[in-house]
Amino acid sequence: MDVLNPRIPVGDWINDILDWLTTHIAWLFDFIKIVLDGFYDGLNYVLSTPSYLIIIVVLAVLAYFVRGWKFALATVVGFYLIRGFNQWENAMSTIALVLVAVVIALAIAIPLGIWAARSTTVSRIVKPILDLMQTLPALVYLIPAITIFSVGTTPGAIATIIFALPPGVRLTELAIRGVDKEVVEAGHAFGASPSRILRQIQLPLALPTIMAGVNQVIMLSLSMVVLAGMAGSGGLGGAVVGSLSSLDVPLGMEAGLAVVFIAIYLDRLSNALGTRSSSLRSRETADA
């Protein structure tokens, strides 16, 4: 290699790795595609099949019990406007994809965050990986995902999971490490096992920060789902991409506003659930 005129073919190396993976473990990618597509299709069927009025009522009732009548009323208005924009099916597809990505991202992020909080070695290994995941441009995730899974829902879901996962890990680790050490030592002094200390002391006290991480995962998933429209995942992202390619301003604005309404609903809902959950767990801990 010319030291004064370096050329490091890291892109070629990554391409070779992708070729090797798609050749030797294609069965694993096929399995992942079947699971993700099945999960997404099931949620999309549940959300898209009933009348839009039924879904609005369900979302409004959930909003009422979680946050109150004002939030329920805003939910009705917001989702009715989405229907009025003729973006209802796209919105339901987007919500289904967000739910798939959030569930899988949290299933990975929270246990990994707890492990990192309990092991300095794991934390040191995970942190630079999370740094890379958070600083890599979001669209770059779509390139290997499309290479492996072709276009469709699966590459969009995979890219969304990877993009949204880091804050869940970081805030879970931060939350567990931030629990008062004297309280944990008191648990040890009374002979509580590590798993019981985790379940009955650390997780309840860390829950507000963990829920902040959950909220971040939801918001990042929604933002990435729109970009995932470039991978053919459809939904509101597909509408935005379609409006760009055809310079259809009305379509782009209506799809964009629908994303805003969904983002506000999911943000307020997850924040309220976090507050209620932390209050409930604190009372349970006090009773114990």
Q: Tens of pLDDT along 166-177? A: 999 999 999 998
Q: Averaged over 143-157, what is the pLDDT?
A: 83
Q: What is the mean pLDDT of the chain?
A: 86
Q: Averaged over 248-267, what is the pLDDT?
A: 89
Rg of the chain in Å (alpha carbons): 22
Q: How confident is the model at residue 241 (pLDDT cuts 50, 70, 90)?
A: confident
CA distance 269 to 271: 5
pLDDT digits (tens, 9 = 90+) for 51-73: 999 999 999 999 999 888 999 99
Positive or negative CA dihedral for 106, 108, 109, 112?
A: positive
A 10 A CB-CB count for 210 gives: 25
Nearest to 26 by CA among 18, 37, 16: 18
Contacts of residue 47, Cβ cutoff 8 Å, sequence gap at least 6 = 55, 92, 95, 96
CA distance 242 to 246: 6
Residue type, 37: D
pLDDT for 16 equals 87
Positive or negative CA dihedral for 96, 97, 101, 107?
A: positive
Tokens 């909220």 sit at which residue?
A: 215
Q: How confident is the model at residue 42 (pLDDT cuts 50, 70, 90)?
A: very high
Q: Averaged over 260-278, what is the pLDDT?
A: 83
CA distance 263 to 129: 27
Nearest to 230 by CA among 149, 152, 134: 152
pLDDT for 198 equals 84
Write out the CATH class of domain 23-287.
mainly alpha
Question: What pTM did the predictor assign?
Answer: 0.86
Q: Averaged over 78-103, what is the pLDDT?
A: 92
pLDDT for 274 equals 73
